[in-house]
């Protein structure tokens, strides 16, 4: 089975792998620079933005440069992160050996003199592993074109950053709605909060064609996600969340420091560059070449796109009509918007949502009504994207 041509193999082993090794050697310097400057980014707002664990129920933000993310993902590719004790913090492991096969990684790294990946003690309690051997394992032990295409997306990302390192930034933020009532802060809304609201409903538009990632740049893109950010991206998953992590690989960096998402939490990313085009979905997913991301940057150097990940119910069936689950959903992205607006973001947004990709949620009318109610409260225009990706 030949996955790449001789010319592509020569480029990978002769140029890309050595460049990744050099990038790894820069990681200590990049981290030192990051910690020297990170907390100045939003210092006037009183927020820390340095790389750290954003634990459960701990609202906070991390700013990372695209270069630092590239170095972190190179470190994960070579499986250099410690693989033990991440379960205590409900984190997925960060190395890539779960995406790649052990045997093939060994061959690749031996070829490049980097046979360093840890092979034991992964997948601790409550975690999605982030290592890459599972992706290559799926090629080596059970070939499928979707897994080959996922691997091609990752390889293409590394080729791009090794030929021209991008200079932007990303922010990863954990947003939390406090469960306890407080007069000065927005809290987890109960039923009477919604039933007594007198706000008018927002403009609602349904699109039957197009993709979430192709909506206008001011869209807030909702990812109905696994509670572990990234879901099965580095395993065999290939639905909405997993595809987005393949075409925007910088999102994988969030798996390093973002534990699982609770019912009253959301993760917002602003925003990862898109590097790949694709076609198809699930088993028909295929890498379709390079993508030049033309979206503009904000004053912090981030691409003007907002991705919000909230945990979706798993195969809820009829229980999704119960009041507790209706409230669970509408609370998901209601978290902490006032503070976000203080950074100068627009109050009026277009919300791009994919109805067909909400796991277990086949009652589209119910889902649309929930979207309608929730975003009317935020005074935004709601665009429901009902395409297949």
Residue 37 among known ligand-binding residues:
no
293 counts as catalytic: no
Say which residues have a Cβ less than 8 Å from residue 362's Cβ, sequence separation at least 6.
none
| CA 148 remoteness from chain centre | 20
Residue 143 among known ligand-binding residues:
no
Q: What gap in Å lies between CA 92 and CA 140, rounded to an integer?
A: 23
Q: How many CA atoms lie within 13 A of 252 on its CB side?
A: 36
Catalytic, out of 221, 241, 263, 336: 241
Residue 364 among known ligand-binding residues:
no
Burial of 151 (0-12, 13-18, 19+ CB in 10 A): buried
Q: What gap in Å lies between CA 219 and CA 240, rounded to an integer?
A: 17
The phi, psi pair for 230, rounded to 5°, reads 100, -25
Catalytic, out of 98, 213, 221, 223: 223
Q: Which residues belong to the annotated binding site?
A: 226, 240, 281
Residue ranges for the known binding site for substrate are 226, 240, 281
Show which residues are catalytic: 223, 241-242
């Amino acid at each position: 089975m030949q996955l790449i041509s001789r010319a592509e193999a020569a480029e990978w082993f002769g140029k890309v792998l050595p460049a990744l090794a050099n990038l790894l050697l820069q990681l200590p310097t990049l981290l030192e620079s990051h910690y020297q400057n990170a907390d100045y980014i939003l210092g006037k707002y009183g927020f820390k933005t340095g790389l750290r664990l954003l634990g459960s129920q701990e609202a906070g933000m991390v700013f990372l440069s695209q270069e630092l993310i590239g170095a972190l993902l190179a470190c994960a590719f070579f499986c250099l992160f410690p693989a033990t004790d991440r379960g205590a913090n409900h984190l997925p492991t960060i190395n890539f050996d779960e995406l790649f096969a052990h045997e093939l990684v060994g061959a690749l790294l031996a070829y490049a003199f980097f046979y360093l990946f840890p092979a034991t003690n992964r997948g601790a309690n409550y975690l999605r592993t982030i290592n890459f051997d599972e992706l290559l394992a799926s090629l080596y032990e059970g070939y499928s074109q979707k897994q080959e295409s996922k691997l091609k997306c990752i390889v293409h990302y590394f080729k791009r950053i090794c030929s021209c390192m991008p200079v932007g930034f990303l922010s990863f933020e954990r947003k939390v709605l406090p469960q306890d009532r407080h007069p000065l802060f927005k809290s987890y809304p109960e039923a009477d909060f919604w039933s007594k609201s007198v706000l008018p409903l927002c403009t609602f538009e349904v699109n039957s064609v197009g993709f979430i990632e192709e909506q206008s740049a001011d869209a807030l893109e909702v990812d109905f996600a696994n509670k572990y950010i990234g879901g099965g991206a580095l395993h065999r998953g290939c639905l909405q969340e997993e595809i987005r992590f393949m075409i925007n690989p910088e999102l994988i960096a969030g798996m390093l420091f973002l534990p699982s998402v609770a019912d009253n939490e959301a993760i917002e990313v602003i925003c990862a560059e898109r590097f790949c085009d694709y076609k198809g979905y699930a088993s028909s997913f295929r890498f379709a070449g390079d993508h030049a991301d033309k979206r503009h940057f904000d004053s912090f150097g981030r691409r003007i796109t907002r991705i919000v990940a909230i945990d979706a119910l798993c195969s809820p069936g009829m229980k999704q009509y119960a009041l507790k689950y209706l409230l669970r959903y509408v609370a998901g992205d209601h978290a902490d918007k006032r503070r976000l607006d203080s950074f100068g973001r627009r109050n009026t947004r277009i919300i791009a949502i994919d109805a067909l990709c909400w796991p277990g949620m086949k009652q589209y009318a119910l889902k649309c009504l929930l979207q309608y109610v929730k975003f009317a409260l935020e005074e935004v225009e709601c665009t429901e994207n009902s395409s297949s990706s």
